[in-house]
Structure 1
């Protein structure tokens, strides 16, 4: 006679993140976007001679104390340390938020944690290697460019992954679709950014670069707010 195992021994359904976990994860994701935008605003406001341009200047310029000139742009950021602190912290906050979403299927949670870790690593590299252009001038490895590329890719892929987990995380399908669209928009902007760099014209380069970064940062803030107020359905 075959032994009949209890159903609980055969299959134990995954428990979705608890309400406290959701709230903490949501707060961390909100903090990720909030830290970045606050640091960028403060650093840009301090750059007054000449005024910093969100459409013309690279984001990385805000982390260069200067004064110096690189990539055809004058760099002078009096509060460069503020921007570099923002670079350092925003990715770590996003990583903390994703890690706190325990109880999700491994095939969904694993890639999200990996992308969040890559985003955090990219932010740390950006903070410790300001984009002054000295590395490329000397023929050395451009760690700042590497960190930026890591952040560009991982941030947008993470937004897409979170959007595809909308049902597991308990927020509406339309919000999930919006996150996927935001991530795709960021990746398309990355292609446009490369084209503008290759052309050498620098037309609206700051605007195009923000088209890469802003979609996933705004996505983090929105999904963080959703996680803090939504109830995940019992499965």
Structure 2
């Protein structure tokens, strides 16, 4: 009986490992993105950048230029583009360091994080204006956005569904799944708006695709760091 109890005590930390480093990186990844977005948007003052109307990618276009029906002039475009790249790479590092996921699920999660990082790098290296697709050049920025939109939301749902193996709360797991659902619903709405032309809330709808799963990653990161500090 004593041996069984001791075996249970020894195995428990292995079943739900402490993911402090992974948590710190996941929180940092989302934090880098939101910080870069805020700084780049604050520098865009003539006319002021609109979070509800302008595309996110506009912040990475120095300009001045006009594309997709919108005027683009981001004085600190390099900040946003650097944020895109760093967000993807830091998030990937955090996911790779995650311990406790079942082997098959871990492979899928790492593949999704790799796709998300690839999307972030493409967004940063190929600013989102019509200038990137002149002379029939491939739209690498659009590809990066599509890959990032889909992989980020699937990743949020998958982590939410696997929350028990990471020692996350049921509420956080449900919130992650909901973030992914909201993201995909916003993606559908975004596609419809683009097909119809434009809308004064296109920027807000686009952020509905991205912001929920980013906030979810930050929440997961904070929860994992706190779990390490408290030892629970």
Does TM-score exceed 0.5, indicating one fold? yes
Displacement of 1:18 after TM fit? 3.4
Give 3-state SS (helix, strand or coil) of 1:74's partner. Answer: strand
Q: Map of 1:40-119 to 2, 5 A cutoff?
A: 40-119=37-116
State the partner residue of 2:17: 18
Contact 1:189 1:209 in 2 (8 A): yes
Per-residue CA deviations over 1:42-100 (Å, capped at 9, x if unaligned) read 00000000000000000000000100000110000000000000000001111111100
Per-residue CA deviations over 1:176-228 (Å, capped at 9, x if unaligned) read 01100111110110010000000103331100000000011000010111111
State the partner residue of 2:210: 213
Give 3-state SS (helix, strand or coil) of 1:66's partner. Answer: coil
State the partner residue of 1:225: 222
> Structure 1, unaligned stretches of length 5 or more?
1-11
State the partner residue of 1:31: 28
Per-residue CA deviations over 1:100-155 (Å, capped at 9, x if unaligned) read 01342112111111110000000000111001112445332111000000100011
Q: Map of 1:126-145 to 2, 5 A cutoff?
A: 126-145=123-142
Distance 1:16 1:98 in 2: 17
Distance 2:61 2:44 in 1: 11
| 2:149 paired residue among 149, 152, 164 | 152
Structure with greater proportional helix content: 2
State the partner residue of 1:3: none
Contact 1:87 1:126 in 2 (8 A): yes
Give 3-state SS (helix, strand or coil) of 1:69's partner. Answer: strand
Distance 2:105 2:207 in 1: 28
Structural RMSD (CA): 1.7
How many residues are paired up?
218
Distance 2:132 2:219 in 1: 37
Distance 1:226-1:13 versus aligned 2 partners, 3 A rule: closer
Q: TM-score, normalised by structure 2?
A: 0.90
| 1:124 paired residue among 93, 112, 121 | 121
Distance 1:75 1:64 in 2: 6
Distance 1:230 1:72 in 2: 47
Distance 1:87 1:81 in 2: 10
**In the alignment, structure 1 residue 167 sits paired with structure 2 residue 164:** yes
Q: TM-score, normalised by structure 1?
A: 0.89
Structure 1 runs (4+) greater than 6 angstroms displaced: none
